[in-house]
Chains A and B, each alone.
Chain A
Amino acid sequence: MNLLSLFFGLLFLVSPPAQNDGLRYLENAIAKFNGIKDYVVDVKVHLDLEAVKAPDMEAKVYFKEPDKVKIDSKGLFFMPKDVGVINPRKFDPAKFLIQVIDTLTYEGDPAVRLSLTPKKDESGNHDIVLTIDKKDWLIREIGTAPSPGRTASAKITYGMFGGFMMPVKVDVKLDMGNVNGQAREFGGRRMRMNEMKGTVEVYYSNYKINTGLSDKIFERRNEE
């Protein structure tokens, strides 16, 4: 054994591979969701945004693995895309470079923060920070930065439904500030990004899990 291989051997022993640890944590969180083939849930959204005033909105959300989502609402309904429908499977470890940022205590339980960087620089892909509770292997917080200066974070509260820990409330914080000149358009009305700032509360109730939802439900695209 030469000195070089001894050096790398020692290095491997003293510094744990962060990517592998992160991967393991993420896989554990995804595994927590493995038994869920589909679900239906009633969702209520309360918006508190500077630029938008809306009454509380209600909808029925249908989910089927791996990532089919259908929203049925009587009136207009919108909720944050990245964090409104919690589906750990969308954090496919094969698509991200996973790094452990730090370990912490989250509401009394040991937790870890992971950074997920998309391997492919595709449109819509952006860095994600997950806080995973190491006791229950639940994703407690999701942070995204869709573009520089824009952040969205979600804090997730869980409840037990049909043997699965499912979100009962997601507190979303949107901060589209610090981006000069960027604007969003809705119905021809341009809004400065810093006006798209505020909180969104998403409440989930009446879960019906693994009822064998037909694919036909998801055939008609949600109006976007």
Chain B
Amino acid sequence: MSLLSIEIRKTFRRWRTYIGFIVVAGAVILLEVIIKLNETRMAQNFSHGLSGDFLISGSVLNAWVITAFIMNSLYIHVPFLIALVAGDMVSSEATSGTLRFILIRPPSRSNIITAKFFAMLFYTALLILFLGALCVGIGLAFFGGGDLISFQTGMPHIVILPAHVAAASTVMAFLAAILSMSVVGSLAFLFSTLVDNSIGPIIGSIAVVILSFIIGNLPFEFLESLRPYLFTTYMGIWQLLLNSPVDWGEVGKYALALLGYDAAFFAIAYFVFVRKDIKS
């Protein structure tokens, strides 16, 4: 059995790994049921501002629109669920005392930390894909398909993607979201190598995410120069894929930045773990 599959099995043997899936399932089901029960009113509220000037027809609320709406939770709620597991990857071994045991076995430290890192990425990808599958699955069952209305920070503010491209755009957006969330996981993973308890890495990584968001969104000119260096600046990569036409140059820039942060956080974690003193 490969080291990676051992680490994945180990990760999925911990009950806290399932918290993310339970929370995501509960939140998505609850949200979609609430939207379904208030469908008419919500559809009216959704287009309320334009109905004064425009005659509107067609499904404003559909699986793709609701999925894009729920994806906004990726900024705050999902990072916490990822940090919950990623922040526990190495520190839990230190807490339970198994770290010394696994490090005296044949696999090298570098193989172990690499396997743990990829197990964390596997969990992150699985959680995001689970979120996507649930949003789309329940959304299609409750509301059916239709055009995807996406909201952009720049101009144009509202982009309507026709139904036949909505599915592909949503899949691409979720794949990009995996990359985006992997940075949060990598950060929590790095913190997990620094301490011997799990709470610190979880809270620490979420604190960094929130602080980074705040700095990135404060309307002060002197903070402008900091924004390119904040990983949260690039976390909205999935929104770029819900635009028309997609600015692939910008997507590439965001993806490279996120991969760069992933690599940097992993490199530091690797360095720390390889040199970690387990005798004291």
Contacts and interface: CB of A to CB of B under 8 A. Distances in A.
B1 to A, nearest CB: 49
A158 B89 CA distance: 71
Interface string B38-82: 000001101111111111111110000100010000000000000
Given A51-B157, A146-B53, A224-B44, A187 B149 contact: yes
B158 A186 contact: yes
Contacts of B236: none
B36 to A, nearest CB: 15
Interface stretch (A17-25, A72-80, A111-119): A72-80
A110 interface: no
A76 B60 contact: yes
A81 B54 contact: yes
A135 interface: no
Given A75-B163, A78-B50, A223 B158 contact: no
B157 A195 contact: yes
A97 interface: no
Interface in B138-167: 146-147, 149, 151, 155-163
A49 B162 CA distance: 17
A77 B56 CA distance: 6
B163 A186 contact: no
Contact of A186 (B46, B57, B162): B46
Contacts of B161: 55
Contact of B146 (A59, A69, A75): A75
A221 to B, nearest CB: 10
A195 B55 contact: no
A185 interface: yes
Interface in A55-95: 55, 59, 69, 71-82, 84-85
B57 A152 contact: no
Interface residues of A, number: 40
A54 B160 contact: yes
B108 interface: no
A204 B127 CA distance: 48
Given A146-B53, A185-B48, A222-B57, A75 B158 contact: no
A18 B259 CA distance: 73
A52 B157 contact: yes
A147 to B, nearest CB: 10
A69 B57 CA distance: 11
A80 B50 CA distance: 9
B166 to A, nearest CB: 10
A174 B157 CA distance: 17
A216 interface: no
B55 A187 contact: no
Contacts of B163: 74-75
Nearest to B162: A55
Q: How large is the interface on B (under 10, 10 to 19, 20 to 34, 35 or more residues)?
A: 20 to 34
User: Which of A55, A71, A183, A195 is packed against the most chain B CB atoms within 10 Å?
Assistant: A55
A136 interface: no
User: Which of A49, A52, A190 is packed against the most chain B CB atoms within 10 Å?
Assistant: A52
B244 interface: yes
A78 B157 contact: no
A176 B69 CA distance: 27
Interface in A148-205: 152, 174, 183-191, 195-196
B38 to A, nearest CB: 14
Nearest to A147: B52
A187 B46 contact: yes
A50 B157 CA distance: 8
B53 A76 contact: no
Nearest to B243: A53
A224 B47 contact: yes
A80 B149 contact: no
B58 A52 contact: no
A146 B156 CA distance: 24
Given A50-B155, A51-B155, A51-B157, A186 B50 contact: yes
B244 A59 contact: no
A73 B147 CA distance: 11
Contact of A75 (B47, B49, B50, B162): B162
9 closest A-B pairs by CB: A185-B49, A71-B57, A54-B160, A76-B58, A184-B49, A53-B156, A78-B54, A76-B147, A224-B51
Given A184-B53, A191-B157, A223-B60, 16 more contacts: A52-B157, A53-B159, A53-B244, A59-B58, A72-B57, A73-B57, A75-B162, A76-B147, A76-B149, A77-B56, A80-B53, A84-B55, A187-B69, A189-B157, A191-B158, A223-B58
